[in-house]
């Protein structure tokens, strides 16, 4: 499903970098670098988590789908974390789809290996529990942000956060895909993107958005962006 490439370890992933050296040594032989394709569904709701991913340049969304066919992004995971963490800690099926929203590289690690190390390492347990707590805060803030903040604020936050978590200036994603993730109409995203483009903050062309002026986007973004952790 994914395409393997050669390297050594996910040193550009912040969660990996924050691990104790002993935990890195134990996990390093088992990680594999993968290229994840745009739109690829890595895990389907109610399925067991057999692999976790440490993104580097990919950005991955936790997507909730409702029976009428609509969807929305609960949280996103980039180089600050790893996928499927809550389900891994609970040793339970995942409660949402895990879908690649920005193609790129990530490191795959079998959960069986992570579980063995987690059971043996208090430091790793503390780190993953803290990261889960931060994810919970982000999910709660996203829920309120989606209810209370304007599309321009939310789009600015999404652009800034996605760039932070991928390290990429150009984001290969269509406006329709962004609209689906943010739970708004495509026409609303198009109109807001045009406003940002006129201000010189972004450039959109053929399914790609390039961030040009982060200062402008920070001025437009809601406080939710400033409240989340930044590396």
7: pLDDT strictly greater than 70: no
pLDDT of residue 230: 67
pTM: 0.92
Length of the chain: 231
pLDDT of residue 2: 43
14: pLDDT strictly greater than 80: yes
5: pLDDT strictly greater than 60: no
| Average pLDDT score over residue span 52-74 | 94
- For 207-227, the pLDDT digits (tens) are 999 999 999 999 999 999 998
- For 105-151, the pLDDT digits (tens) are 999 999 999 999 999 999 999 999 999 999 999 999 999 999 999 99
Domains, the chain, ordered by start = 3-145 (2.60.120.10), 150-227 (1.10.10.10)
- For 154-192, the pLDDT digits (tens) are 999 999 999 999 999 999 999 999 999 999 999 999 999
């Amino acid at each position: 499903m994914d395409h393997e490439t050669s390297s050594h370890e996910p040193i550009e992933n912040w969660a990996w970098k924050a691990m104790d050296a002993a935990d890195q040594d134990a996990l390093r032989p088992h990680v594999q670098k993968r290229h994840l394709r745009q739109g690829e569904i890595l895990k389907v709701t109610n399925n067991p988590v057999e692999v976790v991913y440490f993104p580097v340049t990919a950005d991955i969304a936790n997507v909730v789908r409702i029976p009428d066919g609509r969807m929305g992004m609960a949280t996103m995971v980039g180089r600050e974390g790893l996928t499927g963490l809550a389900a891994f800690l609970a040793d339970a099926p995942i409660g949402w789809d895990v879908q690649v929203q920005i193609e790129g590289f990530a490191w795959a690690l079998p959960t069986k290996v992570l579980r063995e190390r987690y059971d043996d390492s208090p430091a790793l347990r503390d780190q993953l529990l803290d990261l889960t707590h931060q994810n919970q805060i982000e999910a709660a803030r996203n829920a309120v942000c989606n209810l209370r903040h304007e599309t321009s604020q939310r789009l600015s936050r999404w652009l800034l956060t996605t760039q932070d978590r991928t390290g990429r200036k150009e984001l290969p994603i269509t406006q329709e895909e962004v609209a689906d993730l943010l739970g708004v109409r495509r026409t609303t995203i198009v109109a807001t993107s045009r406003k940002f483009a006129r201000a010189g903050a972004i450039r959109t062309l053929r399914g790609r958005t390039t961030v040009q002026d982060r200062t402008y986007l920070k001025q437009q973004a809601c406080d939710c962006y400033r409240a989340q952790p930044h590396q």
